[in-house]
C-alpha cells in the first residue's frame, strides 16, 4: 500500500512540466489540467484566451514514502523560471504563470518556506513571483493533452522546450529518476 499524496503546480506549458515529473521514481501519475480561475470546466481554447483566470497546471500523484513534497517543489523550481511573471519561454499570458496550488496547511507552509528560502539564497537575479494558493478545483485537460510529450516526442515545441526540462531532471535528480 503506497502513501499517495497529491501536488498541483503550474510553470508554463503543462506539456513540459508533465514530462519532467513523469521521469521521477515514486510518481504514480501526472495529469495536465487547469486551476486557479473563475470559469467552470474550461476548455484548452478558453484557457489559452487568458480570460478564464486559470493556469495550465499538472497534478502529481506521488508515493510520499519515495518522494517528499519538498522534493516535488525542488523539481518544480528547477524546471521553470519562477521569476517570470505570466510567462515561460515563448508562452505569454496569465495562464502560464508560476503557481503552487496547495492541498492543505502543511503544503501551504512548505511552499511558502521554500520560496522564502529561494529568495534568501539569492539564486535568481530577480524575485520569485510564484503564486501560492489553496487548490479549489482542478479540471482535467482534454485527453490529447495528457502524456503529450510521450506521444509527440518529435513535435518541434516539445524538442525545444519539454526535452531540455526532461534532460535537466535526468541529470540533476539522477538518483530519483525511474530507470
Q: Active-site residue 13, yes or no?
A: yes
CB 176 within 8 A of CB 24: yes
Sign, Cα dihedral of 52, 57, 61, 65: negative
What per-residue string of b and e applies to 129-146 under the rule 16 or more CB within 10 Å gives b?
Answer: bbbbeebeebbebeeebb
The span from the CA of 81 to the CA of 87, in Å, is 9
Check 13, 16, 48, 158 and give the catalytic one.
13
For cell 482535467, the residue is: 140
Q: Looking at the DSSP assignment, which residues form a beta bridge with residue 63? A: 4
CB 124 within 8 A of CB 156: no
Which residues form the catalytic set? 13
Amino acid at each position: 500500500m503506497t502513501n499517495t499524496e497529491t501536488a498541483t503546480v503550474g510553470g508554463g506549458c503543462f506539456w513540459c512540466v508533465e514530462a519532467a515529473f513523469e521521469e521521477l521514481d515514486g510518481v504514480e501519475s501526472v495529469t495536465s489540467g487547469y486551476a486557479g480561475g473563475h470559469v467552470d470546466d474550461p476548455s484548452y481554447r478558453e484557457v489559452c484566451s487568458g480570460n478564464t483566470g486559470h493556469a495550465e497546471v499538472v497534478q502529481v500523484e506521488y508515493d510520499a514514502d519515495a518522494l517528499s513534497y519538498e522534493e516535488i517543489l525542488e523539481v518544480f523550481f528547477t524546471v521553470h523560471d519562477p521569476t517570470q511573471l505570466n510567462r515561460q519561454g515563448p508562452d505569454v499570458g496569465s495562464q502560464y504563470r508560476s503557481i503552487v496550488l496547495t492541498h492543505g496547511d502543511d503544503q501551504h507552509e512548505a511552499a511558502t518556506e521554500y520560496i522564502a528560502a529561494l529568495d534568501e539564497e539569492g539564486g535568481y537575479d530577480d524575485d520569485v513571483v510564484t503564486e501560492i494558493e489553496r487548490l479549489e478545483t482542478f479540471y482535467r485537460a482534454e485527453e490529447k493533452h495528457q502524456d503529450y510529450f510521450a506521444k509527440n516526442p518529435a513535435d518541434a515545441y516539445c524538442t525545444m522546450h519539454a526535452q531540455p526540462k526532461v534532460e535537466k531532471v535526468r541529470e540533476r535528480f539522477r538518483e530519483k529518476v525511474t530507470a
